[in-house]
Amino acid sequence: MNILSLETSSEWCSVAVWLDGNAQVREELAGQRHSERILPMIDGLLHDAGMELAAFDAIAFGAGPGSFTGLRIACGVAQGLAFAAGVPVACVSTLLAVAQGSGAERVVVCLDARMGEVYFGAFQREAASSGELRWSVTHPPQLCVPSAVPQLDGSGWVGAGNGFALHGARLAERYSGCLSETRAELRPRAYDIAALAVDMVRAKLTVAAEDAAPVYIRDRVALTVDERRALKAARGAPAEHS
């Protein structure tokens, strides 16, 4: 199984070529320069691997949630390359990619969504009929204030993602007795996107290039006055007054 994967949902720009389980990866802390860096990174990686686009079974990208601009860049590049090569696209959850990268079996992922919120999802590995461990979704991706993230069942969960660095105290209080450790340094990476895309290709969960789309969760970044008041109330902050 050959996968080309892209991930630009955070400040990092990450590209991977997955060739039957062996991967070559390039990553850069790109900041706001994803659109400048991603195509040269892909070209360099393809050159090093000696691969043509048509040789891939799919092109995968981190579909979100994450940075609006970053998601659009990854989706647009994946669509263009896939259309040119005549291959399908795997739209992979960035939250699940963080869980995949943790190496754990019970993972609660919280990524910074700004505006005092986190992108949240919880996942567990369960045995499939083949005997292999597959991810199941305990809580689907959603946008939450840290004090109101969904509760977890039982203990032994690994907390992953930079939400645990920014909102560690509130999340630790919310998940008292549930977490075995936290790994705030974990982020979506193209390597993990590729690993998840392999199963998506096998399960025929890919889409045609023209049907690929990001998963935003938050559909806008500006709130009304009433919405800001409600959000501050949920965080326990003093309300605004007109």
pLDDT score recorded for residue 128: 78
CA distances to 2, 62, 185 from 33, in Å: 27, 17, 21
φ and ψ at residue 125, rounded to 5 degrees = -85, 135
pLDDT score recorded for residue 242: 37
Which tokens go with 135? 């991810």
Query: d(Cα 179, Cα 106) in Å, to the nearest integer?
Result: 10
Sequential pLDDT tens for the chain (242 residues): 999 999 999 999 999 999 999 999 999 999 999 999 999 999 999 999 999 999 999 999 999 999 999 999 999 999 999 999 999 999 999 999 999 999 999 999 999 999 999 999 999 999 877 778 899 999 999 999 999 999 999 999 999 999 999 999 999 999 999 999 999 999 999 999 999 999 999 999 999 999 999 999 986 444 445 545 654 555 555 444 43
Which tokens go with 36? 């400048």
Q: For the segment 42-90, what is each residue's pLDDT rounded down to a tens digit?
A: 999 999 999 999 999 999 999 999 999 999 999 999 999 999 999 999 9
Exposure class string for 172-199: b at 16+ Cβ within 10 A, else e: eebbeebbeebbbebbbbbbbbbbbbbb
Rg (CA), the chain: 18
Query: d(Cα 28, Cα 121) in Å, to the nearest integer?
Result: 26
pLDDT score recorded for residue 125: 96
| Residue that has been written with the tokens 């895309």 in this structure | 197
User: Is the pTM higher than 0.85?
Assistant: yes
